[in-house]
């Protein structure tokens, strides 16, 4: 340890870089298990306050645990049923959409012919290798099936985490001490993640509700389903809005034409930008203390490390590293200032 501490800055930097590479390689190798653990931990952190509230109301540990797990199972079953019914409804409409797509394609080629652009467009389309789409679609499907296969593992981890949750604070105090800065950082991390997820849920529901009303007024097919999709994709920072926008725009394009699709894009963007850029930052910015650019970079990084689940876990994992490892360390003040939202100060409860 002393030899490392007394080494040159370049040597220390190389050692730190090598350690990070080894850790990241290990995380990628065990991504499936880590995803299950992190997702279970995230759900447990969100449900632990409910369990504590029930305990304060006189519920036993077993009864409070059973109720919380029952609520989780109920929400999961309802969501799966909703997705199943919605998927079946969309499949039934596919023949109609296919016919409208052909009509749209015919009219588009006619307009390109009128402007003398059909030849160039045809060459551009032919240059696209559609076969590359199939490996991508296969990877997405395989990732989805793997996630479904991990549900049992996630639930088992969640069960034991919630069962042991009341004992964790006491154990941490015994190991670290009442006045340990690490204990204070852990409390701050739990608080920050809980508040972030709650606020993201609230703002996501508000945005999705307004967008659903707009789609219902415009007569867009499956408006409620797209609203639920918007709530889910809202948890993915930066790009979640785009992911939730694509399906309703495609349906609107096929159902009502290009003009209505453009109008939907404009309305969607206005609603999202007003809430995300003017309302939400007043609540989320102070809690995260992380710049929007670094959140986007962390999204790319954690998705690369953990796969699709990394997009959902990007902000909590970044908060974990920032609060537990960087905040409060004199040697990391420069890095904290670089990734922060401008103040460079640690978040405070």
Q: Is the pLDDT of residue 131 over 50?
A: no
Over residues 13-71, the pLDDT tens digits come to 788 778 888 888 888 888 888 888 888 888 888 888 888 888 888 888 888 888 988 99
For the chain, the distance separating the N- and C-terminal CA atoms, rounded to the nearest angstrom, is: 34
- Mean pLDDT of the region 177-194: 82
pTM summary value: 0.74
- Mean pLDDT of the region 77-98: 79
pLDDT of residue 136: 47
Phi, psi for 341 (deg, rounded to 5): -80, 10
Q: Which token pair is 277?
A: 């850029």
Cα distances (Å, whole numbers) of residue 224 to 34, 92, 154, 339: 33, 17, 28, 37
pLDDT of residue 209: 92
Indicate the range of 139-153, 246-260, 306-320, 322-336 predicted with least confidence.
Answer: 139-153
State the residue for tokens 């009128």: 114
pLDDT of residue 212: 92
pLDDT of residue 137: 44
- Mean pLDDT of the region 176-191: 81
Q: Using pLDDT thresholds of 50, 70 and 90, give the confidence band for residue 345.
A: very low
CB atoms within 10 A of CB 323: 23
- Mean pLDDT of the region 220-237: 87
- Mean pLDDT of the region 240-244: 84
Which positions ≥6 away from 29 have C-beta within 8 Å?
Answer: none
Indicate the range of 78-92, 167-181, 239-253 predicted with least confidence.
Answer: 167-181
């Amino acid at each position: 340890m002393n030899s490392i501490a007394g080494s040159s800055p370049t040597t220390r930097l190389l050692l730190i870089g090598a350690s990070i590479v080894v850790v990241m390689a290990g995380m990628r190798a065990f991504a499936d298990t880590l995803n299950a653990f992190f997702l279970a931990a995230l759900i447990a952190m969100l449900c632990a306050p409910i369990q504590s509230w029930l305990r304060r109301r006189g519920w036993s540990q077993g009864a409070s645990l059973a109720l919380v797990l029952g609520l989780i199972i109920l929400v999961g079953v309802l969501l799966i049923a909703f997705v199943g019914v919605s998927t079946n409804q969309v499949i039934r409409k596919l023949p109609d959409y296919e016919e409208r797509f052909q009509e749209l394609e015919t009219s588009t080629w006619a307009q390109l012919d009128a402007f003398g652009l059909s030849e160039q467009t045809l060459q551009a389309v032919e240059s696209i290798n559609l076969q590359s789409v199939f490996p991508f679609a296969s990877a997405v499907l395989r990732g989805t099936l793997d996630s479904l296969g991990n549900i049992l593992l996630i639930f088992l981890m969640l069960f034991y985490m919630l069962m042991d949750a009341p004992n964790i604070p006491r154990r941490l105090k015994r190991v670290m001490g009442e006045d340990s800065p690490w204990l204070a950082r852990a409390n701050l991390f739990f608080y920050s993640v809980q508040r972030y997820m709650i606020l993201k849920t609230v703002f996501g529901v508000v945005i999705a509700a307004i967008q659903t009303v707009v789609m219902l007024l415009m007569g867009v097919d499956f408006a409620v389903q797209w609203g639920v999709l918007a709530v889910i994709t809202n948890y993915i920072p930066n790009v979640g809005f785009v992911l939730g926008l694509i399906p309703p725009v495609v349906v609107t394009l096929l159902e009502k034409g290009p003009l209505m699709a453009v109008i939907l894009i404009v309305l969607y963007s206005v609603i999202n930008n007003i809430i995300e850029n003017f309302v939400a930052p007043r609540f989320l910015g102070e809690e995260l203390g992380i710049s929007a650019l670094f959140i986007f970079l962390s999204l790319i990084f954690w998705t690369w490390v953990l796969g699709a689940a990394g997009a959902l876990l990007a902000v909590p994992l970044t908060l974990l590293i920032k609060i537990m490892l960087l905040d409060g360390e004199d040697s990391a003040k420069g890095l904290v200032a670089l990734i922060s939202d401008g103040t460079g100060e640690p978040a405070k409860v």
